[in-house]
């Protein structure tokens, strides 16, 4: 006869493991992870943790993390050391808004970060629900960046072909001449893509080997990409529930 107390602990563990949705968005800069991440967050009511946004915000507010980040050239796309990133994520996911799950965008970016993420989740009897890999041809990505323009006064963004201003080169709102953001310069974009290929692309294999990866064709229209994203997430959730069940029956 199974011990009822043990059964209820198992049951609670199973619920915790499967109920908390933890998603990873993988893909090169400019593949649309930010746009899709914001939509996923609304759809599933979970927060998005973008390490890039976290770092820029910390620098702007001059926090301790911000002062550390300032030692590195994040405006040139050079990676912040793994231990700094991992610490920042660990603190962020301990906040109450992550209790029902969360989405990470721009993390993990290296194998050691993925290993550390795995360990911090395992400590809480959690695991990654699934990984969405945003795939787009390099030339599309460079094109997206090279056409992007920003107003230095109000921050509104445009694209010379996809979303042009009413008067070429001028902000629609305040008529200030538009500029190219420093990290959108062609040379910097190419450097960011190189760093991605070298350090982050191996994560595809890493997650694929664990049966957690689903590819998304990020070159389609945002609406079409979002439909693919939802289908992929539902599949990943179903697989994750199945894994939890199997794990529980092994544990008994």
Helix (H, G, I), strand (E, B) or coil at 34: helix
Query: E strands of 60-120, at which residues?
Result: 101-105
Active site includes 33? yes
Helix (H) or strand (E) holding 231: helix 222-251
Range list of β-strands (E), the chain? 21-26, 48-50, 101-105, 130-135, 148-150, 157-159, 213-217
Give residues 9-68 in contact with ligand AMP (rule: CB under 6 A): 29, 50-52, 55
Per rule CB under 6 A, is residue 226 in the interface with ligand AMP?
A: no
Q: Counting contacts by CB under 6 A, is residue 116 touching ligand AMP?
A: no
| Angle between helix 82-93 and helix 51-61 axes, rounded to 10 deg | 90
Say whether residue 107 binds ligand AMP (CB under 6 A): yes
Residue 164 binds ligand AMP, judged by CB under 6 A = no
By CB under 6 A, residue 78 contacts ligand AMP: yes
Q: Based on the shown chain and the rule CB under 6 A, indicate whether residue 80 belongs to the binding site for ligand AMP.
A: yes
Residue 182 CA to its chain's centroid (Å):
22
Told to judge if 144 belongs to the known catalytic residues of this protein, a careful annotator would answer: no
Q: Which residue among 25, 79, 127, 144 contacts ligand AMP (CB under 6 A)?
A: 79
Nearest CA-CA partner of 193 in 45, 6, 28? 28
Nearer to ligand AMP, 78 or 217 (CB): 78
Among 109, 144, 149, 214, binds ligand AMP (CB under 6 A): 109
CB of 18 to ligand AMP, least distance (A): 26
Catalytic residue among 20, 33, 144, 149: 33
Residue from the set 38, 59, 74, 150 that interacts with ligand AMP by CB under 6 A: 74
3-state secondary structure of 62: coil
Paired sense of beta strands 21-26 and 130-135, if any: parallel
The region of 77-85, 91-99, 123-131, 216-224 touching ligand AMP under the rule CB under 6 A is 77-85
d(CA 152, CA 168): 15
Query: Can 192 be counted among the known catalytic residues?
Result: yes
156: nearest Cα among 190, 186, 179: 179
The verdict on 83 binding ligand AMP (CB under 6 A) reads no
Please identify, using beta-carbon distances, which residue of 52 and 164 lies nearer to ligand AMP: 52
Establish if 196 lies at the interface with ligand AMP (CB under 6 A): no
**b/e code 75-103 from CB counts within 10 Å (16+ = b):** eebebbebebbbebbeebbeeeebeebbb
Q: Residue 85, interface with ligand AMP (CB under 6 A)?
A: yes
Number of residues that bind ligand AMP (CB under 6 A): 16
Q: Is 109 a catalytic residue?
A: yes
Catalytic residues: 33, 109, 148, 181, 192
Binding residues (CB under 6 A) for ligand AMP: these are 29, 50-52, 55, 74, 77-80, 85, 106-107, 109, 113, 192
């Amino acid at each position: 006869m199974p011990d009822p107390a043990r059964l209820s602990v198992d049951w609670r563990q199973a619920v915790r493991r499967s109920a908390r949705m933890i998603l990873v968005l993988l893909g090169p800069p400019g593949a649309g992870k930010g746009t899709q991440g914001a939509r996923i967050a609304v759809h599933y009511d979970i927060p998005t943790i973008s390490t890039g946004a976290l770092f820029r915000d910390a620098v702007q507010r001059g926090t301790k993390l911000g002062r550390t980040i300032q030692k590195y050239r994040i405006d040139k796309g050079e990676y912040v050391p793994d231990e700094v990133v991992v610490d920042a994520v660990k603190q962020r996911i301990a906040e109450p808004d992550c209790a029902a799950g969360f989405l990470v965008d721009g993390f993990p970016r290296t194998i050691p970060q993925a290993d550390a993420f795995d360990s911090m989740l395992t400590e809480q009897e959690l695991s990654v629900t699934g990984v969405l890999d945003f795939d787009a041809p390099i030339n599309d990505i460079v094109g997206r960046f090279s056409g992007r323009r920003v107003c230095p006064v109000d921050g509104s963004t445009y694209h010379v072909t996809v979303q042009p201003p009413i008067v070429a080169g001028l902000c629609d709102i305040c008529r200030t001449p538009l500029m190219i953001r420093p990290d959108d310069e062609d040379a910097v974009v190419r450097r960011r893509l190189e760093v991605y290929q070298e350090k982050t692309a191996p994560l595809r294999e890493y997650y694929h080997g664990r049966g957690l990866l689903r590819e998304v064709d990020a070159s389609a229209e945002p609406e079409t990409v979002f439909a693919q994203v939802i289908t992929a997430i539902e599949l990943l959730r179903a697989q994750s529930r199945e894994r939890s069940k199997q794990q529980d029956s092994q544990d008994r």
